[in-house]
């Protein structure tokens, strides 16, 4: 039989008290029996020897039994508030400093202890230390995502340990489609597609389509992707895109995911990968507001070469890394405001300026993947309004990103091509079945 670790610890710590509890229970029971048997005996009834002592003794036994029944453990369901950290929360409940640090050290394995998710609830169990007038940790369970909780407890030796608990998720394959009336993002939201999936969709097609100039009203898209739900049917997260199609300005582009979950790419019907060194545009739903080349500077007032491309977009619009690489700069850049520079390889570098803020964890030395959100549109530095200033550097020279011809993607050959054709046919059959069910 498995015993709850907290109950096991409670029994272990109170073993001696339990023995006394059994002994005194026996004494009380035996005394009651004697009282019943001899209650009519006038000799015993009239004796007053030790009467007051017996009353006081029974009172002491009662108080002792109540002490045993009262658990030293306190269960707290704490809601995380703005600005809370693990240290601040545990200090509120007078947890011993050494244990606070041990809990923080365990939590650091999974996430930042100073950046907790506001409004989430912590399941906290603490044990009172009467001699030291503080508390010890018995359990500290905190969600770090919608489907993952970190549980920190004590093992049998009293050492603080941790584990990651993954909520069981149920996968469902979804077919979504819509006609584009304004822009891809708003039309995808209307089709109830999660923002994370929209960003991935834009990343995939970002190699082939300029979302600012190519999209026309009444263009069309359809997509098959995974959604994950918990045991209550609540949506938790989106999964992979398996198939994506766009009808854009007279062009039909169909893409298939091919490969395993850790190493995959997206290929067209001819087995050619759409992924190139850099995406055409690192932002979705933006308007090209200033091209590369000579222009009158909007603030300085004189003609000056514009060494990048400006994309006007609402403040806080996500900005993606246009290619995989390493961040070599993430700081305030004077007139450029908050900016990030990414080195993709020995040839390509990209620069993103005037950001309102950086995405979480973006700093010098961090490796990013293509399409990953690195920051958000702002108007920091010398700027007249919210926009992204985007630069591409090739072999140390700044070039026009909109006219840059990038290397073609991988082309599947031989056995890989055969496997892809089988996969493509199976996907097409799946799409036909899903459309039939939808009707």
Query: Residue 57, Cβ neighbours under 10 Å: how many?
Result: 13
Q: At residue 405, does pLDDT exceed 50?
A: yes
> pLDDT by residue (tens digit) across 86-102?
999 999 899 988 999 99
| More confidently predicted of 155 and 244 | 244
Tokens of 128: 């009172």
pLDDT at residue 226 greater than cutoff 70:
yes
- Residue 254: the pLDDT is 93
Sequential DSSP letters for 331-382: EE-GGG-EEEEEE-SSSEEEEEEEEEEEPTT--TT-EE-TT-EEEEEB--SS
pLDDT average, residue stretch 228-255: 88
The pLDDT of 405-419, averaged and rounded, is: 83
Contact 239, 228 (CB under 8 A): yes
Instruction: Please indicate, yes or no, whether the overall pTM of this predicted structure exceeds 0.85.
Output: no
d(CA 340, CA 329): 5
Mean pLDDT score, 413-431? 92
- CA–CA distances in Å: residue 377 to residues 244, 286, 320: 27, 10, 11
Cα four-point dihedral sign 131, 132, 135, 138: negative
| pLDDT at residue 327 is higher than 90 | yes
Q: How far apart are CA 411 and CA 409, in angstroms?
A: 7
DSSP 90-111: HHHTTB-HHHHHHHHHHHTTTS
The whole-number pLDDT of residue 116 equals: 85
32-72 confidence digits (pLDDT tens): 555 554 454 444 444 443 444 454 555 555 554 444 445 67
Q: What is the DSSP letter of 385?
A: S
- CA dist 265 and 395 (Å) reads 27
Is the pLDDT reported for residue 18 higher than 70? no
- pLDDT tens for each residue of 260-291: 877 788 999 999 888 777 877 788 755 565 66
Please state, in angstroms and as integers, the Cα–Cα distance from residue 252 to each residue in 207, 217, 407, following that order.
14, 15, 22
**pLDDT for position 52:** 44
For residue range 178-211, list pLDDT tens digits in order: 999 878 888 889 999 988 888 888 878 877 777 7
| Calpha distance 364→406 (Å, rounded) | 26
């Amino acid at each position: 039989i498995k015993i709850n670790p907290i109950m096991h610890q409670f029994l272990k710590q109170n073993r001696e008290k339990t023995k006394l509890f059994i002994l005194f229970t026996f004494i009380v029971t035996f005394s009651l029996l004697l009282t019943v048997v001899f209650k009519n005996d006038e000799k015993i009834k009239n004796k007053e020897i030790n009467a007051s002592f017996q009353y006081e003794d029974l009172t002491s036994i009662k108080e002792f039994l109540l002490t045993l029944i009262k658990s030293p453990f306190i269960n707290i369901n704490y809601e995380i508030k703005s600005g809370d950290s693990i240290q601040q929360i545990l200090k509120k409940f007078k947890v011993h400093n050494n244990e606070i640090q041990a809990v923080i050290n365990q939590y650091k394995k999974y996430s930042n202890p100073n950046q907790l998710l506001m409004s989430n609830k912590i399941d906290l169990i603490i044990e009172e230390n009467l001699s030291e007038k503080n508390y010890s940790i018995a359990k500290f369970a905190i969600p770090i995502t919608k489907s993952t909780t970190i549980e920190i407890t004590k093992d049998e030796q009293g050492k603080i340990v941790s584990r990651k608990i993954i909520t069981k998720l149920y996968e469902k394959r979804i077919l979504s489609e819509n006609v584009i009336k304004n822009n891809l993002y708003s039309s995808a939201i209307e089709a109830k597609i999660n923002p994370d999936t929209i960003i991935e969709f834009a990343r995939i097609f970002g190699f082939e389509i300029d979302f600012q100039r190519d999209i026309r009203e009444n263009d069309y898209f359809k997509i098959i992707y995974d959604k994950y739900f918990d045991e209550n049917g609540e949506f938790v997260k989106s999964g992979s895109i398996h198939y994506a199609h766009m009808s854009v300005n007279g062009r039909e582009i169909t893409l298939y995911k091919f490969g395993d979950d850790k190493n995959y790419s997206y290929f067209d019907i001819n087995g050619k990968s759409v992924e190139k060194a850099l995406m055409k545009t690192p932002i979705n739903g933006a308007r090209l507001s200033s091209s590369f080349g000579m222009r009158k500077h909007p603030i300085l007032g004189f003609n000056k070469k514009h060494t990048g491309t400006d994309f006007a977009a609402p403040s806080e619009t996500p900005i993606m890394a246009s290619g995989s690489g390493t961040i070599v700069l993430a700081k305030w850049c004077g007139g450029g405001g908050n900016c990030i520079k990414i080195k993709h390889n020995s040839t390509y570098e990209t620069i993103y300026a005037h950001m309102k803020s950086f995405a979480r964890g973006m700093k010098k030395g961090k490796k990013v993947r293509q399409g990953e959100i690195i920051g958000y549109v702002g108007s920091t530095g010398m700027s007249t309004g919210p926009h992204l200033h985007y630069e591409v550097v090739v072999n140390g020279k700044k070039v026009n990103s909109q006219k840059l011809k990038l290397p073609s993607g991988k082309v599947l050959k031989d056995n890989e091509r055969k496997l892809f054709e089988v996969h493509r046919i199976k996907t097409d059959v799946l799409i036909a079945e899903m459309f039939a069910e939808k009707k």
